[in-house]
């Protein structure tokens, strides 16, 4: 059953988070952390976040809001069924997409229009153990995503904690138009990743676009996001030297990925 506790669609006031749906409260906090200027993950209206709400519904950031100062009124509660149906349906015009997003809202006359990336959030939240999704545009990562060979970089790891927080590899999605086409491309990439690694990817790279971190907890979204940006900085620095690179071997990656002590650390960071 979906959460019955709703927030007041008014300006954000201190203490308001304590009075609303705890899922929405946690989603607001996650969004503010990802949108902080010191994180270099998103500026202006970049990025979006989402959270599963009981059965058949989820919260997603509305179009045009900034993660850096978002309030509860910057999110829409959406029915997942019509969004998932569109993933398997025919192509839609921009007007049809806008209409569908509007109609999918639980409270159409109250909530703002959901982000055009609502389709990819719906798909990712339908996966096992994915309750939260953070999508950002980290500056150093976009540098990597804009060069030839970035797909090869996505499959490599430079240091152990990158494996712990971001997984043994990253799912890669070639550039496609945001919205429904991107959601379909993400689904294809994620399903191929699951077939290969037996797990949902902790990080997804979108060519010339940004980063997605689907996770079971908000802490996992944060750790994957922060570690991904550290790894991107490391890659940019290493590439700038012009010297041959030495990523971890596949054997080393497998060892870190399967070590019991690393799984224990993963639960703590």
Q: Tokens standing for 186?
A: 């993400």
Measure the CA–CA gap between 34 and 16, rounded to whole angstroms.
20
Strand-pair partners of 59: 51, 77
pLDDT for res 81: 96
Look up tokens 């609303």; give the residue: 20
Question: Is 211 in contact with 203 (CB distance < 8 Å)?
Answer: yes
Measure the CA–CA gap between 51 and 121, rounded to whole angstroms.
9
Q: Give phi and psi for 263, each to the nearest 5.
A: -65, -35
CA 173, 87, 98, 21 torsion-angle sign = negative
Measure the CA–CA gap between 87 and 65, rounded to whole angstroms.
25
Q: Give phi and psi for 60, each to the nearest 5.
A: -145, 145
Longest CA span, the chain: 58
pLDDT for res 99: 95
CATH of 16-268, one of 3.40.225.10, 2.30.180.10, 3.40.50.300, 3.30.70.360: 3.40.225.10
Question: Is 126 in contact with 191 (CB distance < 8 Å)?
Answer: no
Q: Tokens standing for 255?
A: 């060892």
pLDDT for res 43: 86
Measure the CA–CA gap between 202 and 127, rounded to whole angstroms.
12
- Other beta carbons within 10 angstroms of residue 89's beta carbon come to 12
Question: Is 46 in contact with 67 (CB distance < 8 Å)?
Answer: yes
For 93-151, how does the pLDDT look when each residue is reduced to its tens digit (9 = 90+)?
Answer: 999 999 999 999 999 888 999 999 999 999 999 999 999 999 999 999 999 999 999 99
pLDDT for res 109: 85
- By three-state DSSP, how is residue 52 classified? strand
Measure the CA–CA gap between 194 and 139, rounded to whole angstroms.
28
Measure the CA–CA gap between 86 and 109, rounded to whole angstroms.
22
Which of 14-18, 82-86, 165-169 is predicted least confidently?
14-18
Q: Where are the domains of the chain?
A: 16-268
Say yes or no to pLDDT of 260 above 70: no
Say yes or no to pLDDT of 238 above 70: yes
CA 260, 261, 266, 267 torsion-angle sign = positive
Closest CA to 118 of 130, 129, 102: 102
Measure the CA–CA gap between 265 and 105, rounded to whole angstroms.
39
Closest CA to 122 of 153, 76, 165, 154: 76
Q: Interhelix angle for 80-87 vs 180-197, to 10°? A: 80
For 163-196, how does the pLDDT look when each residue is reduced to its tens digit (9 = 90+)?
Answer: 999 999 999 999 999 999 999 999 999 999 999 9
């Amino acid at each position: 059953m979906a959460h019955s506790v709703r927030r007041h669609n008014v300006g954000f006031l201190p203490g308001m988070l304590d009075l609303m749906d705890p899922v929405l409260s946690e989603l607001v906090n996650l969004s503010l952390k990802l949108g902080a200027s010191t994180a270099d993950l998103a500026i202006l209206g970049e990025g979006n976040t989402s959270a599963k709400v009981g059965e058949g519904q989820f919260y997603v950031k509305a179009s045009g809001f900034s993660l850096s100062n978002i309030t509860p009124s910057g999110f829409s509660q959406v029915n997942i069924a019509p969004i998932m149906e569109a993933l398997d349906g025919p192509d839609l015009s921009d007007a049809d997409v806008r209409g569908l997003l509007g109609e999918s809202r639980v409270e159409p006359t109250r909530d703002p229009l959901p982000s055009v990336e609502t389709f990819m959030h719906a798909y990712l939240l339908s996966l096992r153990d994915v309750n939260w999704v953070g999508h950002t545009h980290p500056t150093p990562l976009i540098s990597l995503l804009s060069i030839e060979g970035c797909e090869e970089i996505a499959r490599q790891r430079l240091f152990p904690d990158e494996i712990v927080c971001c997984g043994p590899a990253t799912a890669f999605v070639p550039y496609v138009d945001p919205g429904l086409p991107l959601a379909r491309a993400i689904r294809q990439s994620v399903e191929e990743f699951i077939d290969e690694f037996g797990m949902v990817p902790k990080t997804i790279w979108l060519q010339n676009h940004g980063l997605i971190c689907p996770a079971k907890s908000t802490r996992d979204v944060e750790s994957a996001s922060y570690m991904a940006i550290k790894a991107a900085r490391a890659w940019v620095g290493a590439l700038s030297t012009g010297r041959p690179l030495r990523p971890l071997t596949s054997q080393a990656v497998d060892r870190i990925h399967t070590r019991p002590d690393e799984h224990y650390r993963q639960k703590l960071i």
